[in-house]
Chains A and B, each alone.
Chain A
Amino acid sequence: MNSPILFYLLAFLLIGSSLMVVLSKDIYRASFWLVGFFLFFAGLLLTLHAPFLALTEIIVYSGAIAVMIIFAVMLTGKYANFELSGYSIAGVLIAAIFIIEIMLIIKDVPEFKNFAFAFASGSNARAVGISLFSGYLFPFEITAILLLVALFGAVVLAKRRKQ
């Protein structure tokens, strides 16, 4: 694990696919690049010693959310006009300022070379489950209610009203 070649390959793929999502004119193609982004991100989570989260990423994001987005693309338009304007320069400037600010902060973050020490014993899914259902039970229930409300909200919004 944690080999530099794997990390830099994943970094290249992640940055490339996210740039394709942001810059492509064809929304359909952008949504498939987004699926690729989610899969590469699952690989990044695997190198971070979080296999349970990697599988969650594949199921929830590249399974459910990507299908939802592709359906929405099919129901709306295919092409998005995209021209550079003053907004583009402002966006790149804001992102650059943001990166520089956080690069200045990051010097204070302690450097750790080995992520394996923390979860060396036992399986990751077991550790996630135990801490989810012991310390975080209430947020878990609230999340269930949030998903239910979002389901109702989406149905009520998208329902065709009788004239």
Chain B
Amino acid sequence: MIGSTEYIILLLILLAIGTIGVIIRRNFIIILMSLEIMLNAASGLFVVGSGITGNMSGQLFFLFAAAVAAAETAVGLAIAIVIYRKKGSVETDKFESLRR
């Protein structure tokens, strides 16, 4: 039988892979995809907690997290398209006008 510990460890590994993607990649769209992986893993942990406690709130939190992820992706991709129009690339090394 597979218990809650195995699920939690799997979801933490996925969260760590998403973190690695956000830190090491320089492409804005890949960073957004890694953020999706992180959000999925974190809200999956809520679903596991909902199974452990027998409370429905964890599953509802997954729904709210999905809505927030959809909103975040829409705005993030709009920003990516605007930056591509201005700079011709979505590499984050090119976004430097606020740094100077």
A-B interaction:
yes
Q: Which residue numbers of A lie inside 8 Å of B, CB to CB? A: 2-4, 7, 11, 14-15, 18-19, 21-22, 27, 30-31, 34, 37-38, 41, 44-45, 47-50, 52-53, 56-57, 60-61, 64-65, 68-69, 71-73, 75-77, 80-82, 84-85, 87-88, 90-92, 94-96, 98-99, 102-103, 106, 109-115, 117-119, 124, 127-128, 131-132, 135-136, 139, 143, 146-147, 149-151, 153-155, 157-158, 160
Instruction: Contact check, B71 vs A22: say whether CB atoms are below 8 A apart.
Output: no
Instruction: Contact check, B56 vs A146: say whether CB atoms are below 8 A apart.
Output: no
User: Which residue of A21, A80, A143 is within 8 Å of B37 (Cβ)?
Assistant: A21
Bound-state CA distance A127–B37 (Å) is 27
Instruction: Contact check, B89 vs A77: say whether CB atoms are below 8 A apart.
Output: yes
Instruction: Contact check, B73 vs A65: say whether CB atoms are below 8 A apart.
Output: yes
Instruction: Contact check, B74 vs A151: say whether CB atoms are below 8 A apart.
Output: yes
Interface class of chain A by DSSP: helix
Q: Could you count the A-B residue pairs with CB atoms below 8 Å apart for me: how many are there?
A: 235
Instruction: Contact check, B59 vs A112: say whether CB atoms are below 8 A apart.
Output: no
A76-B81 contact, Cβ under 8 Å, with A65-B36, A106-B9: yes
Size of the chain B interface, CB-CB below 8 angstroms: 71
User: Which residue of B1, B9, B44, B80 is within 8 Å of A113 (Cβ)?
Assistant: B1
Instruction: Contact check, B59 vs A50: say whether CB atoms are below 8 A apart.
Output: yes
Instruction: Apart from A18-B37, A48-B7, list 6 A-B contacts with CB within 8 A.
Output: A11-B6, A34-B33, A60-B66, A115-B4, A118-B50, A158-B81
Instruction: Contact check, B29 vs A76: say whether CB atoms are below 8 A apart.
Output: yes
Instruction: Contact check, B32 vs A154: say whether CB atoms are below 8 A apart.
Output: no
User: Which residue of B7, B17, B89, B91 is within 8 Å of A22 (Cβ)?
Assistant: B17
Q: In whole Å, how far is B76's beta carbon from the nearest beta carbon of chain A?
A: 9
User: Binary interface profile of B, 50-74, with partner A (CB < 8 Å = 1, else 0)?
Assistant: 1111111101101110111111111
Name the residue on B nearest A57 (C-beta): B66
